């Protein structure tokens, strides 16, 4: 990486962005069995959209939730999803920790579901990795292992290659080029042209904690204070759009118009490119 990043300072940045998790707002939603429960979504670590039906999923400290028609339904067992990404229709990859009473390692490594999140199986790195950021693109899995600080990549979901050990908070992969990445650091946005092995600073970009790269090429990022910016290229100039209304917990950019963010235990959606946001769950 062509810039020095303080691991301690970056940790403070990540904690600032995650601090909203502790003030979560549980709201009564369906549990999938026709009865009401408190949907414990205050620790939201990942948001994904099913490419076939448009259903929104949120990986949380208390399991995976499906959000559709203004209602949140927990579809998985209660376990801690620290990283979550959609690999295809009903096909998800995740990481984190087992739930209370579940056996196995304290960190589950990479796990996979092919039935919409109802059941999961361990694939690799159990006990060795806790991915706090995951992305599946170009037939590769990219993951940021919080246990070691390594940015890793796998083409078979089992064997992994280290890309970088420099501290970053979040990253996104280009939809067109598997070797083009952007990442957030304590000192600002950086980009890579060699698959994440080295990075260089992006000048004039705002300090952001989460970033996303949509299939249509739209880039978006959110600052620790919740201000959302978009761009057409990492170094093409970032435009302020709106505000998510709190410290962000997660960000997913589905398209130029459709952007999802989480703050204060709530998944928000923008359909105007990040100018305005509204809750996905009916109040």
Q: State residue 105's pLDDT score.
A: 85
- From CA 61, how far away is CA 112, in angstroms rounded? 17
User: Which segments of the chain have a pLDDT < 70?
Assistant: 1-40, 283
Task: Tell me the β-bridge partners of 85.
Answer: 93
Nearest to 62, CA basis, from 21, 16, 90, 34: 21
* Model pLDDT for residues 140-153, shown as the tens digit of each residue: 999 999 999 999 99
- From CA 150, how far away is CA 162, in angstroms rounded? 7
- From CA 114, how far away is CA 108, in angstroms rounded? 17
3-class secondary structure, 94: strand
- From CA 73, how far away is CA 281, in angstroms rounded? 10
Domains annotated for the chain, with CATH where assigned, are: 7-279 (2.130.10.10)
CA atoms within 13 A on the CB side of 275: 5
Q: State residue 154's pLDDT score.
A: 98
Q: State residue 78's pLDDT score.
A: 87
Q: State residue 6's pLDDT score.
A: 36
The torsion angle over the Cα atoms of residues 61, 66, 69 and 72, rounded to 10 degrees, is -30
């Amino acid at each position: 990486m062509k810039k020095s990043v303080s691991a301690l300072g970056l940790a403070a940045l990540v904690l600032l962005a995650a601090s909203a998790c502790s003030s979560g707002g549980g709201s009564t939603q369906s549990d999938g069995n026709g009865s009401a429960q408190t949907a414990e979504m205050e620790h939201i670590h990942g948001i994904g959209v099913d490419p076939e039906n448009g259903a929104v999923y949120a990986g949380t400290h208390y399991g995976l939730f499906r959000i559709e028609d203004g209602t949140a339904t927990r579809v998985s067992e209660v376990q801690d999803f620290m990283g979550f990404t959609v690999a295809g229709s009903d096909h998800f990859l995740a990481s984190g920790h087992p739930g209370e009473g579940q056996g196995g390692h304290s960190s589950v490594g990479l796990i996979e579901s092919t039935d919409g999140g109802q059941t999961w199986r361990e694939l690799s790195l159990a006990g060795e990795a806790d991915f706090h950021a995951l992305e599946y693109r170009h037939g590769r899995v990219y993951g940021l292992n919080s246990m070691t600080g390594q940015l890793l990549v796998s083409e078979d979901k089992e064997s992994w290659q280290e890309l970088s050990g420099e501290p970053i908070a979040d990253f996104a992969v280009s939809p067109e080029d598997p070797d083009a990445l952007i990442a957030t650091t304590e000192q600002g946005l950086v980009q890579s042209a060699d698959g994440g092995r080295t990075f260089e600073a992006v000048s004039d970009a705002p300090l952001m904690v989460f970033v996303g790269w949509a299939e249509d090429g739209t880039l978006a990022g959110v600052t620790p204070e919740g201000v959302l910016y978009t761009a057409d290229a990492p170094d093409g100039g970032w435009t302020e759009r709106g505000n998510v209304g709190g410290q962000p917990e997660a960000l997913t950019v589905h398209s130029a118009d459709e952007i999802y963010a989480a703050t204060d235990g709530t998944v928000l959606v923008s359909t105007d490119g990040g100018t305005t946001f509204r809750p996905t769950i009916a109040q």
